[in-house]
Structure 1
């Protein structure tokens, strides 16, 4: 393996400020700490003790491209550094690196959703669980950014901050009901994106208006011709599912039916998704409503609504199962910088691994990377890490 520094990685993090006291003699430079943390996370480490253990076990390998004059940093050193790195700056550097790595991978659809870090809660100390609001490129399976908040209700204020961190021009941005806010819709349009917002009971007037529009169309058996429909049947392990999507793009009809129409920036589509599931003689029907600034077919909106949950299956679930994020108790300081930075490190490692084409599971990839230095190097070379 080439022992020259990893140019893309070094360049991306060159501007990141070392949070340790200026003028102090430091045993380990910031680049060494970040590089070991990244490689250890790829190789299966889920906490700082494991990162230190990984580093000590692989010190001969690391010394092929890092000086490590004072050996491997302690787990306390890793924790202190990550507790004081500025999350926005750390995320921006990782974003630059992953942009270099993944280049022109599609960002046509960006899903935004929040995740509660159960392990960050300390009821005895009166500390509530941290929530991370994340952006996920569904096509590229890539984390684009995140913002930390202390309570789920604060996700409304976190979403605009997240939108400032990522490039959404030309993309469709889908958000669950928490993000169905007039100001958020306006922000997305101002940044050149389109919105797809789920409508639930937190917008009672809007939901009632959409239900009335759809009920009228059902009564008329869609005779007006202004609704586009799409249906798809699927059977999986004895479970039958029928998904129907209906889209109204007649702006005059929407304007008449939605009382606050003028306040929803560029509202041009009303979407209704009906899912009917049957298993062992029991059936269940769920109806979901959406609004969007984009004009598209029912087939397209059905796909976007389904792919939005890729952030649950492709990001949140994987972080819990593969990285054991919900069990993680990393939390430090009033601003929770360490938990936010570690959360971003995990998301970036996940994004990196998902770009590798293999039949192995993510767990299998991490285990092999931890055991097999040649495989670790193969991953790093593929992602321009080294």
Structure 2
């Protein structure tokens, strides 16, 4: 256990302490260890982190310096507001890589399977400062979907600024041998170019922000359905699923970019295929359908496309977890750094909780971690 604790502190030594030297009584690493431990154990904000620390002081003192006692919630908030999110993220990711004994991207590269990276945004609704609640912080994050690992995040002032945030987020990620999926807002030629130049591939949803391209892809697949899919080189598959009272039939199709579309698609660096996903949902006697179109730098492989298209929306389930299990939308932290740092801590803790394979909900695992210090230690230190 001693070596594990040493590695934890080595990872978090990279986080610069912005406080005035000689005027601090609580070591930075101790505060960060308290934050991570408390969030695992059910604390949802600085007040609850302080309370957790007061109840668990003896346990915490085994792993970090708390000779000056537990920092106040004001101190915890101030530290979270001052430390740089990029440094905090890097420390957490390195700690997770140590727990897994091998970094997620290196493992995937060894077996030549591309890593699926889903990028999407979420508004932290309680972080507003004006009466209209219009300035809530919007966080754009990247997930390695197969591993359930958050790879990085960046924050902006509103959803409309996602386009500017995505390139910044891509700079934090090793894009080699990855497939990056984005919804229509991120479907930009400049982002496609950045991904390809970084050694990755992309799968972008195409909607009305590129009306000519969207219409051309839709027309091509309509013609293929009328004339016969194989006649137009289209590869297709259908899957079905049932959940509660809802049944879904999902149709996926992809083909190499046809000559008639190359004038439009040549502007997209590395573009190789176009895709269609059609989901038909039945609830009792009611039916609804949703058709999406995509452009991709990957070859036309229908199974790969279907996996990426489905996995991309798993990030939506993570947003649900953050709201329901961690009460993120209720958080009233209002400074960008504090909101971002707590948000990433929640995402990191979600990964740790999912690594435990017992058949219990994430909410229940957090409660058990608060009650049972041995389980909390296992989540923090067990490889």
Normalised by the length of structure 1, the TM-score is: 0.93
Which of 233, 252, 261 aligns to 1:257? It is: 261
* 1:319 matched to 2:311: no
1:68 positional shift: 1.3
Distance in 2 of aligned mates of 1:351 and 1:96: 13
Change (3 A) 1:57 1:224: same
Distance in 1 of aligned mates of 2:186 and 2:59: 46
1:234 positional shift: 2.2
1:98 positional shift: 2.0
Counterpart secondary structure, 1:148 = strand
Q: Do the aligned partners of 2:235 and 2:300 also contact (CA within 8 Å) in 1?
A: no
Aligned to 1:73: 71
Which of 251, 254, 257 aligns to 1:247? It is: 254
Aligned to 2:38: 40
Distance in 1 of aligned mates of 2:230 and 2:195: 34
Aligned to 1:274: 278
Distance in 1 of aligned mates of 2:45 and 2:281: 40
How big is each residue's C-alpha offset from its partner over 1:133-190, in whole Å with a ceiling of 9 and x where there is no partner? 0001100001110000001111001001000001121011101111100000000000
| Higher mean C-alpha deviation, range 121-130 or range 263-272 | 121-130
Normalised by the length of structure 2, the TM-score is: 0.94
| Higher mean C-alpha deviation, range 125-134 or range 58-67 | 125-134
Aligned to 2:331: 328
| Higher mean C-alpha deviation, range 371-380 or range 103-112 | 103-112
Aligned to 1:303: 307
1:299 positional shift: 2.2
In the alignment, structure 2 segments of 5+ residues that lack a partner are 109-113
Aligned to 1:92: 90
Change (3 A) 1:165 1:236: same
| Higher mean C-alpha deviation, range 268-277 or range 97-106 | 97-106
Change (3 A) 1:186 1:68: same
Distance in 2 of aligned mates of 1:237 and 1:59: 45
Aligned to 1:344: 344
Distance in 2 of aligned mates of 1:55 and 1:344: 20
| Higher mean C-alpha deviation, range 230-239 or range 98-107 | 98-107
1:241 positional shift: 1.7
Please provide the CA RMSD for this pair. Answer: 1.6
1:126 positional shift: 6.8
How big is each residue's C-alpha offset from its partner over 1:11-62, in whole Å with a ceiling of 9 and x where there is no partner? 111121101013x331111011000111001100001010000000001111
Aligned to 1:357: 357
Distance in 2 of aligned mates of 1:296 and 1:220: 19
Counterpart secondary structure, 2:31 = helix
Distance in 2 of aligned mates of 1:178 and 1:196: 13
1:225 positional shift: 4.5
How big is each residue's C-alpha offset from its partner over 1:259-288, in whole Å with a ceiling of 9 and x where there is no partner? 322210111110100111122211111110
Q: Do the aligned partners of 1:206 and 1:258 also contact (CA within 8 Å) in 2?
A: no
1:99 positional shift: 2.3
* 1:144 matched to 2:166: no
Q: Do the aligned partners of 1:4 and 1:65 also contact (CA within 8 Å) in 2?
A: no
* 1:179 matched to 2:179: no
The count of corresponding residues between Structure 1 and Structure 2 is 374
Counterpart secondary structure, 1:136 = strand
1:202 positional shift: 1.1
Q: Do the aligned partners of 2:116 and 2:145 also contact (CA within 8 Å) in 1?
A: yes
Change (3 A) 1:239 1:5: closer
1:229 positional shift: 0.6
Distance in 2 of aligned mates of 1:30 and 1:125: 36
1:66 positional shift: 2.2
